[in-house]
Structure 1
Amino acid sequence: MLVILPGCNPGKSVAAAGNTLSFYKQLRLLCGKRINGEVLYPAGAEAPFRGMDIWLEVTQCSDREIRMPIYIDNKIYRTLILGQDQTGYTLRHENKRPNGAQADFSLYGGHTTEPDTGYLLVFPADGYTKQLMGSEMSYVWSLAFNNDRTTFSYIAETDGKLSLQFDFNITSQTAQ
């Protein structure tokens, strides 16, 4: 699996296990905040949404679910729904039509298979998603904090290759 880690450079890495707060608790600390972002990959001329404002809002935080709409120029691109259960975490992607109705291609995602390090959660596509995508390709999504928790990343991979990465600068957070 190829993952460009948030704020990645040779001097930075994602910290290992031993963190005192779970990933979920760390993310809940951002509840009610708007966090500015950018497309890290693809970059350059291939970058989608080039020149557009991108941000994430961490909303509707409960003990079981956190909703995080990603905005591209004042329109919701999709809402990430992070849930937790007895066996780990789920990630769903909620897509809606312009009229607010649920899109046909929505609520895809997966469930973690690795333990919570406090820094990285990986979500291989679940059965529903594989059926919805109707493809033999593999899909994996990741949510990550860099080691000093100044960057939060949303990462998508297809067949082991990075397809999209948004980085959100936590130090730029403002109240919603």
Structure 2
Amino acid sequence: MTLKHTISIITFLFALPLIAQEPDPSEAFWNRLQSHCGNAYEGNLALPEEDESFGGKKLVMHIKSCSDSEIKIPFFVGDDKSRTWIFTKNNGILTLKHDHRHEDGSEDNINFYGGTASNTGKANIQFFPADVATQKMIPGAATNVWWVTLDDKTFTYNLRRLGTDRVFKVVMDITKPISTPEDPWGWVD
């Protein structure tokens, strides 16, 4: 073994502890999202451009509640305060669920659907394929894949129903916090 090979091996061995100390991608994503806790942001509908439920309405997300294992983000569409995205973390794997409420705070019949990531994803993107509970609740959503991207400028919430033309994308500007909105429907601290 040459001196050059020996130095390369020693350099590699000393680098191992540094590699092991870096957070896994889902943890990096989680920490970045959690760093916005308490802030609210405005965004816009990117896809589909002509959507009667979301088009032309003020879109606001409020990263309202954060703990070590759960982040709740109410998402308002105009005056509709029925939606909350719920991210949970379990052993480095993230889950996204959707909490839908009526104006009186009662649960919608279609509630807590979503999916769990199949791996740790990347620090700037997490994928959530529809889970079994979602498939049973909404048979047409069996091929849903949600994904969220997060960088220094934007948070995007995306949905694609594989095998169909169904696509949805909201882009939130996270460089400019806005005034904190009222509580979503049914919110309990």
Residue 120 of structure 2 corresponds to residue 115 of structure 1:
yes
Fraction of identical pairs, as percent: 24
**Structure 1 residue aligned with 2:8:** none
Question: Residue by residue, what CA displacement relative to the aligned partner does 1:74-102 show, whole Å, maximum 9, x if unpaired?
Answer: 32241100000015011000001121011
Q: Tell me how far 1:162 sits from its aligned partner.
A: 5.2
Q: Tell me how far 1:174 sits from its aligned partner.
A: 3.0
Question: Residue by residue, what CA displacement relative to the aligned partner does 1:95-149 show, whole Å, maximum 9, x if unpaired?
Answer: 0112101111000000001323210000001110011112374011111124xx2
Computing the radius of gyration over CA atoms, which structure comes out larger, 1 or 2? 2
Higher-RCO chain (CA-CA 8 Å, sequence separation at least 6): 1
**1:155 and 1:162 in contact (8 A); partners too:** no
**Structure 1 residue aligned with 2:97:** 92
**Structure 1 residue aligned with 2:72:** 67
Structure with the bigger percentage of helix? 2
**2:93 and 2:116 in contact (8 A); partners too:** yes
**1:42 and 1:48 in contact (8 A); partners too:** no
CA RMSD of aligned residues (A): 2.3
**Counterparts of 2:141 and 2:90 in 1: how far apart (Å)?**
28
**Structure 2 residue aligned with 1:38:** 44
Q: Tell me how far 1:173 sits from its aligned partner.
A: 1.3
Question: How many equivalent pairs are there?
Answer: 157
Please, what TM-score do these two structures have when normalized by structure 2? 0.75
**Counterparts of 1:91 and 1:63 in 2: how far apart (Å)?**
15
**Counterparts of 1:47 and 1:21 in 2: how far apart (Å)?**
36
* Structure 1: gaps (5+ residues): 1-16
Please, what TM-score do these two structures have when normalized by structure 1? 0.81
Structure 1 residues 19 and 133, CA gap change in structure 2 (3 angstroms): closer
